[in-house]
Structure 1
Amino acid sequence: MDYYIVAGETSGDLHGANLIYALKEQDPNATFRIVGGDKMEAASTQKAVLHTSQMSFMGFIEVLLNIRSILKNLKNVKADLLRHRPDALILIDFPGFNLKLAAFAKQHDIKVFYYISPKVWAWNTKRVKKIKRIVDHLFCILPFEVGFYDQWGMKVDYVGNPLLDAVSQYRFNSTFKEANNLINKPIIALLPGSRKMEISKLLPEMMKVVKLFPGHHFAIAGAPNFDQSYYEQFMHGATIPVIFDQTYDLLNNAEAAVVASGTATLETALLHIPQVVVYKANAVSIAIARRVIKVDYISLVNLIMDREVVKELIQNAAHYDAIAEELDQLLNNRSYRERVLADYNALAAIMGEPGASSKTAKLIDKYLK
């Protein structure tokens, strides 16, 4: 089979890479053309038609400011898709871009598979009607999504969460602390996100927390789209290490973490690291989001559990004083910390076992045959 796979963000690149490996197990002769990042390039042994570093814009205002680039990217991918006409188009999350691409593919009789449902349950739920028209098969990774789609008369496949695959398959480095000079003191991990807007708004607040915990090492999880110099402009001369391509090792060795809202919140929970979740965006984007988004939480951990398991500090609340206060509770209040870890155990039970990539690959192979 000839597959065309599109992921527009760092997390989608990870899941896309694991899906490519699983598809190769189903069909060793499968060929791939990708829109994605470094991990998908490595898995497919193909250069990306368009790299995730050129695609990821966050927030309503940010999207508007970059609309010309987004439309150009979409036009180029549409043209490339028609030139190659794959057996299947596989779209991974990234709905603003991918739903438009799905509609285009459907018009041209290209079979469309959608892996990782758009978050239509959070806002603009009427998009389900469009998804029913333009997507041949939808694969969901959150347990509550099956019931949501069922209410709209749409049958979907629940395949489990691919983060379970990523965590279970990761080979942890037993010498991580020594290799990164993080010995003798416990570690607090800082995960300021994978996009420019996130990092520029969150990292300065995180850096103000560092001086309040002199008994700890701090380390920043670097995103693959950036280099050391990009982070340094927000670090005010501090010598905090920025560690690339070792986020799981950093978390696995941390006593606690400060995490930008997104996929990383769930990864941190699956690794059983107490965390405080932070989020900042353009003020207008936040105001719009608060009017249209219909969920009570922003972190995947709380959304899945349908209650507050981890503290969420949003916009002005994501201030270094509040971050430090929550960190203090996670580090020094034993009963509070144990409650969080017990909730993580309950979350793991809900999430189930690894195997999402393999299940999805088998279903795609089945549906195509």
Structure 2
Amino acid sequence: MKYYIIAGEASGDMHAANLMKQLKMRDSDAFFRVWGGDKMQAEANEMVRHFKDSSFMGIFNVLWNIRSIKKNFTLCENDIMAFKPDVLILIDNSGFNLRIAKYVRLSKLPTRIYYYILPQAWAWKQKRVHTIHQWCHRVFAILPFEKDFYRSYGYDVDYVGHPILDALAQRKPSLIGSEALRKEFSLSEKPIIALLPGSRKQEIKTKLPTMLKVVKHFPEYQFVIAGSETIDLSFYKKYMDTDVKIIFDRTYDILNNATGALVTSGTATLETALFRVPQVVCYKPGYVTYHLLKRIVKIKFICMVNLILDRMAVEELIEDDLNEKRLVKELNLILEGEKRAQMLNDYDELEVKMGGPGASARTAELMWEDMTEVN
């Protein structure tokens, strides 16, 4: 089979790569042409474009780059028509992927279209559930509450579990301990507080400077930035005025040895929780964007941990609340004492709700069964 897969950011890249590995186990003739990141490129036969050259975050950033985005749409549409894939697999990235799904469906290509890691329609633009089902042949949900959400609109989806559990299961045996981490990166003996400012430039720009303001308040700890492999060191340096260590492409090793963390909202909050690291969630989309989102977002929480547990287990500092004073206060609360203990208990419940690993295998099996039945 010829597969065309599109992912738009780091976590999608990781999950798509794991799915590709599982599809290869079922389809010995699998040929992959992809838009994604380094992990997908390692599994693919052909790479069209890296997401670092085609991913734009935030309303104004999108508007500013609208010409580049339109060129990417045209490139992708023409490339799919030339490649004529048997299967199109879309990973999150709804603004781009839903347009591509529509284009391919209307093109009359005999391409089977699957959506894996669904857009967060339960958060805003709920009517996208109709669009997703109109243009896709089958969809695969990774969050436990998504199946009921789609059912409320009259649609059935395949709940496969969260692939982050697969990624952790694969990586944990090879993760290094505190002594090895300290030796490799010349860290001190102080306990580590991890800073996860995100994998996009806009996220880093808006959150990292505020995160770094707390460093001087915790001299008994050392702060380590989990750097994204897609962002150059020079970009981080623009926002760093303190002597903080930055380690690239080793987020799991950092979390494996961290005492606490400041984390940008998104998949990283789940990863941090599954490593049992108490955290404070940081979100700063910008004043105008934030107030626009407040009008249209229909959820009680922004942190995935809180959404799954359906309560405020992890503190969320949003927009104006994301400041030095609040960060210092909340970080102090999770480094020791009652709130730290409660958060660790909440993490236990989270793991139970998410189930075990196997999402990538389950998704690949369902896709393969569907493909072979159609053919």
Q: TM-score range by the shorter chain?
A: over 0.9
Map 1:93-108 onto structure 2 (within 5 A): 93-108=92-107
Which residue is 2:27 aligned to? Answer: 27
Could you tell me which residue of structure 1 aligns to residue 5 of structure 2?
5
TM-fit CA distance, 1:43: 1.8
Unaligned runs of 5+ in 2: none
1:58 aligns to what?
A: 57
1:173 deviation in Å?
Answer: 1.7
Are the equivalent residues in 1 in contact too, given 2:31–2:45 (CA < 8 A)? no
Aligned position for 1:122 = 123
Partner of 1:163: 164
Tell me if the contact between 1:177 and 1:253 (Cα under 8 Å) persists in the aligned partners: no
- SS of 2:280's partner is strand
Q: Pick from 191, 197, 213: which aligns with 2:196? A: 191
1:105·1:111 contact (CA, 8 Å) conserved in 2? no
Provide the rounded CA distance (Å) in 2 between the counterparts of 1:290 and 1:55.
Answer: 27
The whole-number CA distance in structure 2 between the counterparts of 1:24 and 1:14 is: 16
Residue 342 of structure 2 corresponds to residue 339 of structure 1? yes
Query: Matches of 1:349 and 1:230 in 2, distance apart?
Result: 39
2:298 aligned to which of 294, 297, 306: 294
Per mean C-alpha deviation after superposition, the further-off stretch among 265-274 and 169-178 is 169-178
Structure-1 residue corresponding to 2:323: 319
User: Structure 1 CA distance, aligned partners of 2:45 and 2:175?
Assistant: 24
Task: Kindly tell me the number of residue pairs found equivalent between the two proteins.
Answer: 366
Mapping of residues 162-241 of structure 1, within 5 Å: 162-170=163-171, 171-174=174-177, 175-236=180-241, 238-241=242-245
Q: Does 1:366 align with 2:365?
A: no
Letter in 2 for 1:306: D
Three-state SS of the structure 2 residue aligned to 1:49 is strand
Structure 1's consecutive aligned runs of 4 or more residues displaced over 6 angstroms after TM superposition are none
Structure 2 match to 1:37: 37
* Match in the other structure for 1:111: 112
For normalisation by structure 2, the TM-score amounts to 0.96
* Structure-1 separation of matches of 2:34 and 2:236: 28
2: CA distance, partners of 1:342 / 1:221: 25
What amino acid is aligned across from residue 25 of structure 1 in structure 2?
M
Aligned-pair distance for 1:57? 1.6
- 1:74 corresponds to which residue? 73
**Which amino acid counterpart does residue 366 of structure 1 have in structure 2?**
E
Alignment RMSD: 1.0
2:94 corresponds to which letter in structure 1?
P
Mapped contact 1:9–1:55 kept (Cα < 8 A): no
Q: Distance in 1 between matches of 2:130 and 2:190?
A: 53
Q: Contact 2:162–2:354 at 8 Å: present in 1 too?
A: yes
CA deviation after TM superposition for structure 1 residue 282, in Å: 2.4
Matched position secondary structure for 2:213: helix
Deviation at 1:305, TM superposition (A): 0.8
The Cα shift of 1:336 comes to 1.1
Amino acid corresponding to residue 274 of structure 1 in structure 2: P
Post-superposition shift, 1:177?
Answer: 2.3
Secondary structure at the aligned position of 1:211 is classed as helix
Identity of aligned residues (%): 48
Describe the SS at the equivalent of 2:85: coil
Residue in structure 1 matched with residue 360 of structure 2 by the alignment: 357
Residue 243 (structure 1) aligned with residue 244 (structure 2): no
CA distance in 2, matches of 1:201, 1:182: 26
Question: How much does 1:70 deviate?
Answer: 1.1
Distance in 2 (CA, whole Å) between partners of 1:43 and 1:12 is 14
One-letter amino acid matched to 2:72:
N
Q: In structure 1, what is the Cα distance between the partners aligned to 2:218 and 2:239? A: 19
> Which residue identity does 2:184 align to in structure 1?
A
**Native 8 Å contact 2:182 2:189 kept in 1:** no
TM-score, length-normalised on structure 1? 0.97
Partner SS state of residue 257, structure 1: strand
Q: 2:286, 2:344 → 1: CA distance?
A: 33
Name 1:252's counterpart in structure 2: 256
| Residue in structure 1 matched with residue 137 of structure 2 by the alignment | 136
- 1:86 aligns to what? 85
In structure 2, how many angstroms separate the alpha carbons of the residues matched to 1:298 and 1:67?
A: 27
